[in-house]
C-alpha cells in the first residue's frame, strides 16, 4: 500500500464547533448521575473531563453524544439545541474505552464506514480513509482485521475512523485506559498533536489526572455529578477551588490545621490560605503539595521519621511520619536519599494552601 | 503444576487413548443404528444377499407415481424449513437485540418464554394449537406451510440459545454505539454491523431449525398436514426400504448442514506477517 498520492494528513480537516451543556440533569432512579452540570467548550478547544469513577463524567459525554437522554437542561452544539437529535445526526466523532472496531471489516473498511453512511463516492471514500490512517500512522495496516492489531493500534484506527467524517466535535471516552503505560503516553501525545493540527473541539473523559493535565487546554474536575472547577491545568494545580480538587488533582497530604481568617496555623507555621471555600475559623484539613515541603535542619523543622522514599528520575519523593502519626510527602532532589527509619526534620516553604472541612 | 499449585488445563485433559476410547464408544452408539439402516436398505429381500438396486432407483429418478406423496412431503418439509427459519429470524433476532441493548431486565422473561416449548411435550402443544389453527386456517388457508408458525415455537429454545451465545460473545452495545456515532441508522446498524457479527449464531439457529423441521412428525400428523416424516410413515407401510433410504438422506442432509455451520460461521482468518 502506498500513500504517495495522498493529501497532507492535516487536510482531513474539520469544522470545529462550540459546545455547551447548561444545567444538565440525569438521574438513574434515585441516583443523580448529573446534577445540573454547566460546561462550555470553545471551538477548537481540548477540554478534559476529570474525576473519580462514578462521578458522572462518562454520562456527561454520552449525553452530549446522544447515547443517554437527559432529564433537564440543554445541550447545544454550535448554538443549536441537539437534545432531540439522534446520535447518528449529531455529527460527532467518538472513540470508546473498549475496542470498538467492527470485527468483520478490515481496518480500511472500518475507517470508510462513516463515509459510507454519508454516501461518499467510493474513490473519495478510499482516499479520505487512507488519509485518516496516515494521520495516525497506520496506512500500511489497511488490509488487516481488528484482531490482528495491538490495543494501541486499534485505538488509533478508532481515532482515524472518528476523524475521517470531519465531525464538528470529537468525544474521547477514556480511550487510553485499556492500554499499557508506555503506549498510553505515546498515544495521548499523538491525540493532542492531531487535535492541534485539525483544531477540532474535543472532550476527553479520563480518571487519570496526569493524562488530563498533560493534554488538555482546560480541565473540568467532576465530583458526584457536579463540576467542581474548570480551569487550565496550572490553575487547577496551583489554585484549586475546593478541597476535593486540591485532593484529586496532583499529590497532596492532608494535615490538621487551625484556620484564622486568611491564614492557617500548621505545626507552628503560619501559611496563607487560597481564596475559595468559606470556612469558619477553627480546626480544618490542610492540603499540602509535596513540592511545598522541604527537609530542614533539626532545630528549625518538624521532627519526622522516613517511611519510604521513591526515585522518580529527575526527583525523589519521600513519605515521612510526623510525631502525631500524620503522613506527609516531601519532594526533593535526587542527591538526598533518605532511607526508611531515618530521623529527619521537615518545614513548609510558605506557599498558599487549600483548606477544607475536617473529615 | 503451576505456582498456584494447580495443574494446567493441558494436564487436566484426558490422555489421547482415553479420548479415542470415548470417541469410539460415542461413535459406535451413533453408528450402530445408521449401519443397521444402511444394511436394511441393501438387503436382497427373499432372494437373500445384498443389492444397490434401491439406491440406484432413488438416484436415477426411477420411483413411480406411487411415491409422489413422498416427494410432496419432502418439498413441504423444505418449504416449511425455509419459512420457519425466516419467521424465527425475522421475529427473534430484532427482539433479542432490542432486549439486549435497550431492555436488559427483560432478558430473563424472554429467555423463560423462549425455552418454554422445550419443556412442553409436542402432544400438549398440539392440543393447545388445534383451536389456534382453526383461526390460522381461516386467515391463511390450510396449506402445509402454515405449520411454520407452530414450528417457529418449537425451534425457539434452540434458536434462542444459539443467538444468545453469540450476542454474549460480541460487545453489541459498543459496536452499536460506534456505528450510531458514525451516522448509521438503526436499520443499518442491524444489517451492516450486528448481523455480520452474529452470523455464527444465526447460522446455527437456522440449521438447527431446519434439522428440527425435517425431523418433526407429531404436530404435522396430529394437525393432518403432510411433511417428510408423515410421508415416510405412510411409505413405510408399503415400501420400508425406500422409506429408510430417505430417512438416511435426511440425516445426511442435517449432517452436511452442521458441517456448513462450522465452515461458514468461523471467524475470518488471515496469516499474520
Domain ranges for chain A, please list them: 9-238, 251-356
Distance, CA of A306 to CA of A316 (rounded, Å): 13
Interatomic CA distance for residues B92 and B263, integer angstroms: 24
A130 within 8 A of A6, measured Cβ to Cβ: yes
Q: Which three cell numbers stand for residue B208?
A: 438447527
**In Å, how far is A344's CA from the nearest CA of chain B?**
42
pLDDT computed for residue B272 by the predictor: 41
* pLDDT recorded at residue B258: 77
Confidence band of A12 (pLDDT split at 50, 70, 90): low
Helix, coil or strand: residue A325: coil
Q: Provide the percentage of residues in chain B whose pLDDT is more than 90.
A: 50
Distances (CA, A) of A195 to A16, A130, A218: 10, 18, 14
pTM of structure: 0.79
User: CA A289 to CA A270: how far, in whole Å?
Assistant: 16
At residue A2, the pLDDT reads 35
Answer whether B180 sits within 8 Å of A89, measured CB to CB: no
Using only the alpha carbons of chain A, give its radius of gyration: 24
B-chain residues near A166 (CB < 8 A): none
Q: Which domains does chain B have, with CATH numbers?
A: 9-51 (no CATH), 67-265 (1.10.3720.10)
Using pLDDT thresholds of 50, 70 and 90, give the confidence band for residue A11: very low
Provide mean pLDDT across the span A272-297: 88
- Residues with Cβ within 8 Å of A82's Cβ and at least 6 positions away in sequence, in order, are A66, A75, A76, A90
Are B174 and B189 a contacting pair, CB within 8 Å?
A: no
Measured between alpha carbons, how far apart are the two ends of chain A, in Å?
Answer: 61
Give residue B265's pLDDT. 61
pLDDT of residue B253: 86
Work out the pLDDT band at B250, boundaries 50, 70, 90.
Answer: confident
In this prediction, residues B10-28 reach a mean pLDDT of: 86
In order of A264, B15, B17, B145, the CA distances from B10 in angstroms are 65, 10, 15, 50
Q: A with B: how many residue pairs have Cβ under 8 Å apart?
A: 71
Between CA B240 and CA A102 the distance in angstroms is 53
What is the total residue count of chain B? 273
Q: Are strands A46-50 and A218-223 parallel, antiparallel or unpaired?
A: parallel
**What pLDDT band is residue A1 in, cutting at 50, 70 and 90?**
very low
Band (pLDDT 50/70/90 cuts) for residue B28 is: very high
Model pLDDT for residues A161-220, shown as the tens digit of each residue: 999 999 999 999 999 988 888 889 999 999 999 999 999 999 999 999 999 999 999 999
Q: Is the pLDDT of residue A15 over 60?
A: yes
The Cα–Cα gap between A48 and A208 comes to: 10
Complete DSSP assignment for A62-124: HHHHTSS--SEEEEEETTEE-TTS-GGGS-EEEE-SS----TTSBHHHHHHHHHHHTT--HHH
Chain A residues with CB-CB distance to B270 below 8 A: 144-145, 148
With CA atoms as reference, the chain A residue closest to B194 would be A102
Does the pLDDT of residue B47 top 90, yes or no? no
Q: Which CATH superfamily is domain A9-238 in?
A: P-loop containing nucleotide triphosphate hydrolases (3.40.50.300)
**pLDDT at residue B9, rounded to an integer:** 61
Asked if pLDDT for residue A270 goes beyond 90, the answer is yes
Strand order in the sheet with A31-41: A31-41, A19-28, A72-77, A80-81
- Condensed to tens digits (0 to 9), the pLDDT of residues A293-349 reads 999 987 778 999 999 999 998 999 999 999 999 999 999 999 988 999 999 999 999
The sheet with strand A293-295 has its strands ordered as: A293-295, A343-348, A302-311, A316-322, A327-332
The sign one gets for the Cα dihedral B90, B96, B100, B105 is positive
Residue A308 has a pLDDT of 95
Residue with cell 487536510: A11
Mean pLDDT of B42-70: 85
Which residue does chain B place closest to A166, by CA atoms?
B182
Name the residue in chain B with its Cα closest to that of A164.
B182
A103 contacts in chain B (CB < 8 Å): 170, 197, 267
Residues A35-60: what's their mean pLDDT? 95
Query: Given pLDDT bands bounded at 50, 70 and 90, which one contains residue A31?
Result: very high
Poorest-pLDDT segment among A128-137, A234-243, B86-95, B149-158: A234-243
Q: How far apart are CA A231 and CA A241, in angstroms?
A: 10
**First vs last C-alpha separation in chain B:** 34
Flag whether pLDDT at B269 surpasses 80: no
Q: Which residues of B touch A169 (CB under 8 A)?
A: none
pLDDT at A7: 35
Check CB contact under 8 Å for A102 and B197.
yes
Question: Is B182 strand, coil or helix?
Answer: coil
A268: helix, coil or strand? coil
Per-residue pLDDT at A5 = 32
Pick the CATH number of A251-356 from 2.60.120.10, 3.40.50.300, 2.30.30.180, 2.40.50.140: 2.40.50.140
Residue A10 confidence (pLDDT): 42
pLDDT band at B40 (very low <50, low <70, confident <90, very high): very high
Asked whether A203 and A41 are in contact (CB, 8 A), the reply is yes
Task: Measure Cα distances from A49 to A211, A221, A233 in Å.
Answer: 11, 6, 12
Q: Which of A104, A114, A144 sits opposite B182 (nearest CB)?
A: A114
Give the cell for residue B163: 443467538
Distance from CA of B70 to the nearest CA of A (A): 42
High-pLDDT (> 70) share of chain A, %: 96
Q: Which cell is B188 given?
A: 443499518
Which pLDDT score is estimated for B273? 37
Mean predicted lDDT score pLDDT of chain A: 90
Q: List, in order, residues 6 or more apart from B4 with CB less than 8 Å away.
A: none
Predicted confidence band of residue A132 (pLDDT cuts 50, 70, 90):
very high
Q: Is there a contact between B78 and B195 (Cβ–Cβ < 8 Å)?
A: no
Beta-bridge partner residues of A19: A41, A77
User: Which residue out of B181, B264, B266 would a mutagenesis test of the A interface target, given it has the greatest number of A Cβ atoms within 10 Å?
Assistant: B181
**A287 touches A254 (CB < 8 A):** yes
Burial class, A31, CB count within 10 angstroms (exposed 0-12 / middle 13-18 / buried 19+):
exposed
**Chain B contact for A140 (CB, 8 A cutoff):** no
Tell me what pLDDT residue B211 has: 87
How many whole angstroms separate alpha carbon A256 and alpha carbon A242? 16
At B271, is the pLDDT very low, low, confident or very high (cuts 50, 70, 90)?
Answer: very low
The confidence score (pLDDT) of residue A8 equals: 37
Indicate the residue of B181, B185, B196 with minimum beta-carbon distance to A65. Answer: B181
Segment holding A283, helix H or strand E: strand A282-288
- Contact partners, residue A331, CB within 8 Å, separation at least 6: A289, A290, A291, A293, A315, A316, A317
φ, ψ for residue A320, nearest 5 deg? -120, 155
Amino acid at each position: 500500500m502506498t500513500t504517495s498520492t495522498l493529501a497532507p494528513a492535516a487536510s482531513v480537516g474539520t469544522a470545529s464547533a462550540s459546545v455547551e451543556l447548561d444545567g444538565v440533569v440525569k438521574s438513574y432512579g434515585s441516583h443523580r448521575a448529573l446534577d445540573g452540570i454547566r460546561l462550555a467548550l470553545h471551538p477548537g478547544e481540548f477540554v478534559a473531563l476529570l474525576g473519580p469513577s462514578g462521578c458522572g463524567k462518562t454520562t456527561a459525554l454520552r449525553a452530549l453524544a446522544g447515547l443517554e437522554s437527559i432529564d433537564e437542561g440543554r445541550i447545544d452544539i454550535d448554538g443549536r439545541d441537539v437534545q432531540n437529535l439522534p446520535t447518528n445526526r449529531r455529527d460527532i466523532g467518538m472513540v470508546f474505552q473498549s475496542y470498538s472496531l467492527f470485527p468483520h471489516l478490515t481496518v480500511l473498511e472500518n475507517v470508510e464506514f462513516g463515509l459510507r453512511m454519508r454516501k461518499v463516492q467510493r474513490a473519495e471514500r478510499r482516499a479520505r480513509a487512507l488519509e485518516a490512517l496516515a494521520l495516525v500512522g497506520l496506512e500500511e495496516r489497511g488490509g488487516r482485521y481488528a484482531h490482528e492489531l495491538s490495543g494501541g493500534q486499534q485505538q488509533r484506527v478508532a481515532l482515524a475512523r472518528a476523524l475521517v467524517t470531519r465531525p464538528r466535535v470529537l468525544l474521547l471516552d477514556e480511550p487510553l485506559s485499556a492500554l499499557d503505560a508506555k503506549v498510553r503516553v505515546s498515544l495521548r501525545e499523538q491525540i493532542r498533536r492531531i487535535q492541534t493540527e485539525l483544531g477540532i473541539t474535543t472532550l476527553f473523559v479520563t480518571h487519570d489526572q496526569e493524562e488530563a493535565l498533560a493534554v488538555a487546554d482546560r480541565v473540568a474536575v467532576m465530583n458526584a455529578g457536579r463540576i467542581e472547577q474548570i480551569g487550565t491545568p496550572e490553575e487547577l494545580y496551583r489554585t484549586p477551588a475546593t478541597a476535593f480538587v486540591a485532593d484529586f488533582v496532583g499529590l497532596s497530604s492532608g494535615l490538621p490545621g487551625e484556620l484564622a481568617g486568611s491564614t492557617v496555623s500548621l505545626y507552628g507555621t503560619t501559611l496563607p490560605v487560597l481564596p475559595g471555600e468559606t470556612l469558619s475559623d477553627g480546626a480544618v484539613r490542610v492540603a499540602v503539595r509535596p513540592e511545598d515541603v522541604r527537609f530542614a535542619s533539626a532545630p528549625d523543622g518538624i521532627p519526622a521519621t522516613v517511611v519510604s522514599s521513591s526515585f522518580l528520575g529527575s526527583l525523589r519523593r519521600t513519605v515521612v511520619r510526623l510525631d502525631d502519626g500524620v503522613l506527609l510527602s516531601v519532594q526533593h532532589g535526587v542527591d538526598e536519599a533518605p532511607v526508611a527509619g531515618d530521623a529527619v526534620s521537615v518545614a513548609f516553604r510558605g506557599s498558599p494552601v487549600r483548606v477544607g472541612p475536617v473529615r | 503444576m503451576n505456582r498456584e499449585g494447580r495443574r494446567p488445563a493441558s494436564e487436566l485433559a484426558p490422555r489421547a487413548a482415553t479420548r479415542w476410547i470415548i470417541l469410539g464408544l460415542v461413535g459406535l452408539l451413533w453408528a450402530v443404528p445408521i449401519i443397521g439402516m444402511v444394511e436394511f436398505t441393501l438387503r436382497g429381500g427373499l432372494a437373500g444377499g445384498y443389492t444397490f438396486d434401491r439406491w440406484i432407483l432413488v438416484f436415477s429418478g426411477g420411483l413411480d407415481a406411487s411415491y409422489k406423496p413422498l416427494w410432496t412431503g419432502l418439498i413441504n418439509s423444505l418449504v416449511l424449513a425455509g419459512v420457519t427459519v425466516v419467521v424465527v429470524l425475522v421475529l427473534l433476532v430484532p427482539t433479542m437485540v432490542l432486549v439486549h441493548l435497550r431492555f436488559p431486565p427483560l432478558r430473563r422473561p424472554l429467555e423463560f418464554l423462549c425455552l418454554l416449548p422445550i419443556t412442553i411435550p409436542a402432544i400438549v402443544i398440539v392440543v393447545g394449537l388445534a383451536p389456534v389453527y382453526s383461526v390460522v386456517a381461516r386467515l391463511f388457508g390450510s396449506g402445509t406451510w402454515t405449520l411454520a408458525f407452530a414450528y417457529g415455537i418449537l425451534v425457539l429454545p434452540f434458536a434462542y440459545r444459539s443467538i444468545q451465545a453469540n450476542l454474549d460473545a460480541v460487545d453489541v452495545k459498543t459496536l452499536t454505539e460506534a456505528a450510531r456515532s458514525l451516522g448509521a441508522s438503526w436499520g443499518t446498524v442491524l444489517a451492516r454491523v450486528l448481523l455480520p457479527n452474529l452470523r455464527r449464531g444465526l447460522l446455527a439457529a437456522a440449521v438447527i431449525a431446519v434439522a428440527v423441521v425435517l425431523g418433526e412428525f407429531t404436530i404435522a400428523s396430529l394437525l393432518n398436514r403432510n411433511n417428510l416424516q408423515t410421508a415416510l410413515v405412510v411409505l413405510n407401510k408399503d415400501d420400508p426400504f425406500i422409506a429408510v433410504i430417505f430417512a438416511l438422506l435426511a440425516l445426511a442432509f442435517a449432517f452436511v448442514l452442521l458441517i456448513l455451520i462450522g465452515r461458514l460461521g468461523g471467524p475470518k482468518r488471515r496469516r499474520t506477517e
